[in-house]
Amino acid sequence: MLEEVAVVLVVLILTIRFIYRWQSGRCSSEATLDGKTVIITGASAGELKAFTGRRAGRVCLIPWWKVRGMEGGLEVGDVRVEVRHLDTSDLTSVRKFAKRILEDERSLHVLINNAGMMGCPKREVTQDGLELTMATNYYGHFLLTNLLLGLMKKSSPGRIIALTSSDHSYVNKLNPDSLNFEREHYSSRTAYGQTSLCNILFSVELASKLEGTGVTANSVHPGCVHTEFFYKGKVTLFSWICRKLYLLMGKDVQLGAQPTIYLAVSQEVEDVSGQYFVDCQVAKTSELARQKKLAKQVWEATEVDVKLQPEEKHY
């Protein structure tokens, strides 16, 4: 009896795995990033290979949030990759990283805000007074994008891509005055869902500020992908379950990178901005994520939280 149950379970898992991967979106564009400069935050080795393997750009700058003090260059196919230190949860680190980019680079064409972590089991606060999950997944990218926006506008056309998640729909309310859960109930999943929602709202408001500049801003949910993401930070029961399910039935890194590659290179979306993508297609968000007034309120609150200075604004 147990053997029969095991066989049925294995068949079910393999079937779901096959169907999910078969129907997943793929980038069919043959466009490349030759001569372009790209920044990908939080890129793992697998994601790096998936992105550069087919899209040979002049330079890819890959800050790997997990690596402390690792700097230097390496070759990945025809691409020169610079690995630089960046901790998106630390605003000082973000400002130092951006300063060096502005000193060293003459252009920037694609910025992929990819670094992230699951929500912490308990609320933790960074040295900047920000909730750790929000700081890592959202605040750091908000600041980094603003600091590099001037360079991107000079290098136009350009594309800004924010990684997010379908978990944004888990959040049914958002208080711009309590983004760090100062007065709101905290849970691991709520924290992660809120970062996903904020990244979508950030892209919506950023797109409106970039109208007419040639620089677009979109958000993308890569799907259920088994990456190093689930091995960062402290493990919760929810993240442990997700890690096992994604390993058995989710996308591999190559397939999971397709939606991001699509937004980075496809000519179909060169003029598309302020949209949310899933499997290389525009998808519907939650009702909260479509509120432009809320997007503006969250932006203004975030400027205060990251202490964005007048000289750091380029919109």
| CA proximity to 63, closest of 17, 98, 18 | 98
pLDDT, average across residues 166-193: 93
In the chain the beta strands, taken as DSSP E runs, fall at 37-40, 59-63, 72-76, 79-84, 110-113, 158-163, 215-221, 276-278, 281-282
Residues 6+ apart with CB under 8 A from 111: 38, 39, 144, 145, 148, 152, 158, 159, 160, 161
SS3 282: strand
Q: What's the average model confidence in pLDDT over 101-130? A: 92
Better-scored residue on pLDDT, 18 or 37: 37
Average pLDDT, the chain: 83
Distance of CA 194 to the CA centre of its chain: 13
Place of tokens 């993240």: 239
pLDDT over 60 (residue 35): yes
Can you spell out the DSSP letters for 212-260? Answer: TTTEEEEEEE--SB-SGGGGSSPPPHHHHHHHHHHHHHSB-HHHHTHHH
3-class SS of residue 160: strand
- Judge whether residue 153 has pLDDT over 80: yes
Q: How far apart are CA 163 and CA 26, in angstroms?
A: 17
Nearest partner of 51 among 77, 73, 24, judged by Cα: 77
Q: Could you tell me the pTM of the whole model?
A: 0.86
Give me the catalytic one of 138, 139, 192, 276: 192
Specify the pLDDT at position 231.
47
Q: What does the alpha-carbon distance between residue 315 and residue 305 come to, in Å, rounded to a whole number? A: 18
199 Cβ contact partners less than 8 Å away, ≥ 6 residues apart: 113, 137, 138, 141, 162, 163, 164, 168, 219
The set of residues, in sequence order, having a beta carbon less than 8 Å from that of 182 and lying 6+ positions away, is none
Residue 286 has pLDDT above 70, yes or no: yes
CA distances to 45, 49, 278, 315 from 223, rounded to whole Å, are: 19, 18, 7, 31
Kindly give the pairing relationship between strand 37-40 and strand 59-63. parallel
Q: What is the pLDDT of residues 57-83, one digit of tens each?
A: 555 555 543 333 345 555 555 566 777
Instruction: List, in order of start, the domains of the chain with CATH numbers.
Output: 30-225+253-306 (3.40.50.720)
Query: Residue 170 catalytic?
Result: no
The residue among 33, 297, 306 whose CA lies nearest residue 144 is 306
